[in-house]
Amino acid sequence: MHKDKLMNTRILKHSLLAGFFAAFTFLAHDASAQTNVATLSYKIVEQWSIPNGGFGKAIVVNKPNPTEQELRALGEKLKQETKGD
């Protein structure tokens, strides 16, 4: 029973993170990076396989309060980097 609960918690956590990543990418879809906006750097803190292919990733950025423009630029960068996933 404990293993089932642990597995369900892990699946829920990954689903939520994947949903956040998908929403973030969707919001960044129409954004274009501006030359005067510094690009945020990021670190992948967790990665997992998605059943239908590709990967889900949890990331952290190097700035506590990034602007909307910075987040959109990062979303566009992530979108380009994950095209082959």
The answer to whether 39 and 74 are in contact (CB under 8 A) is yes
User: How many C-beta atoms lie closer than 10 Å to residue 14's C-beta?
Assistant: 16
Higher pLDDT, 77 or 8: 77
Q: Tell me the per-residue pLDDT of 4-58, one tens digit each, with 9 for 90 and over.
A: 665 566 665 666 555 656 555 555 544 444 444 457 899 999 999 999 888 899 9
pLDDT of residue 17: 57
pLDDT of residue 55: 87
pLDDT of residue 82: 85
Cα dihedral angle (9, 11, 13, 18), rounded to 10 degrees?
A: -170
